[in-house]
Amino acid sequence: MAFILALMGAVSTASGTPTPSGVASDAGAGEVSAFVSEAQAVVFTVGALGLVWVVGFSGLCRRGGLDRRGSREVSALPALAWFFVAVTVFYVQFFAGALVSGVFDIGAIEETLGGVKVSSVVGGGAALVTSLVAVGFLVVLHKAAPRAGMSWRWKEAGVGALSMALVFPIVASVGALAAVIAAMLGAASGSTIAHDTLEVIASGRDNPWAWGLVFAVVVGVPIVEEVIYRVGVQSAVRRLTGSAWASVLLTSALFSAMHWSIIPAGSRHQLAALFALSVAMGAVFEWRRSIAASIAMHGVFNLVNVALAVAG
């Protein structure tokens, strides 16, 4: 994701060595199909269709459906303030990567420890710094807009984790369909692992330093990116349009577009799965009125991707 691209870009600048530039965010079918059987793929598809029917029947997809439990009140702050949060956290990740690279002599570390350890130091360190900034924004925003869903509630985090378990078949099925269409159009197939960071983690599964990257992917990225896209962008769009679904869809379009340069060319059809994932996280954020739900969804999804990559 953009976060990891920024972090690893700092390492590349400091040492001139190729470094990871992606993160586990879209487990589309290209990744899933490498780890599950055809029978499991059928189960995923059937489960996805069933879940789509249930969601449609419940009315969540209708106008105002996401606000049935009450709407998030983002009017306490102007749209520009919400956008400011998104832009600030987005650029902090670049500065955090540069800061960690400057504090630690990356060139010397790489010479003595190797690329995986450098990636772990920079990725994990920058993830920690940027996450702290993002959490700080959540604390301030909760006081400024107490009904905008900025507080952390463990119950909602649990709902988010469970929601990802239910949504995963849909994301996998969208990825499967995208892969089939790409193959029919003659697109070149990419790696079964569509992100360089996952490949580094998978290749270094026996290296304890890889846990720094795992922390960045599973903990840091969900916090940072949910604050950028759900808290910042989605709240700003909702403030401007007054529509929950408009904010979810427009934010998801931006979320996917920001990953275009990060996903390898042969795997870019998986942006469809990434869009589906973002829509799900944005919808749950609006439905539950808690950022804890979407952060938990994002974290569980990335954790599953890491587990699949390591298992493969």
Q: What share of the chain is helix, strand, coil (3-state, %, to 5)?
A: 75, 0, 25
The two tokens of residue 108 are: 């010397």
Q: For residues 167 and 163, give the distance between their C-alpha atoms in angstroms, rounded to a whole number.
A: 6
What is the structure's pLDDT at 17?
34
Q: Provide, rounded to the nearest whole percent, the portion of the chain with pLDDT above 70.
A: 67
SS3 147: coil
Give the global pTM: 0.79
- Check residues 116 and 83 and name the one with the higher pLDDT: 83
What is the structure's pLDDT at 55?
60
Domain ranges of the chain: 2-18+42-54+70-311
Residues 6+ apart with CB under 8 A from 83: 232, 233, 236
Q: What is the pLDDT of residues 8-43, one digit of tens each?
A: 343 333 333 333 333 434 444 444 444 445 555 666
Give me the chain's average pLDDT, please: 78
Q: What is the pLDDT of residues 280-310, one digit of tens each?
A: 999 999 999 999 999 999 999 999 888 887 7
Q: What is the pLDDT of residues 70-97, one digit of tens each?
A: 689 999 999 999 999 999 999 999 898 8
Q: What is the pLDDT of residues 233-280, one digit of tens each?
A: 999 999 999 999 999 999 999 999 998 877 777 778 889 999 999 999
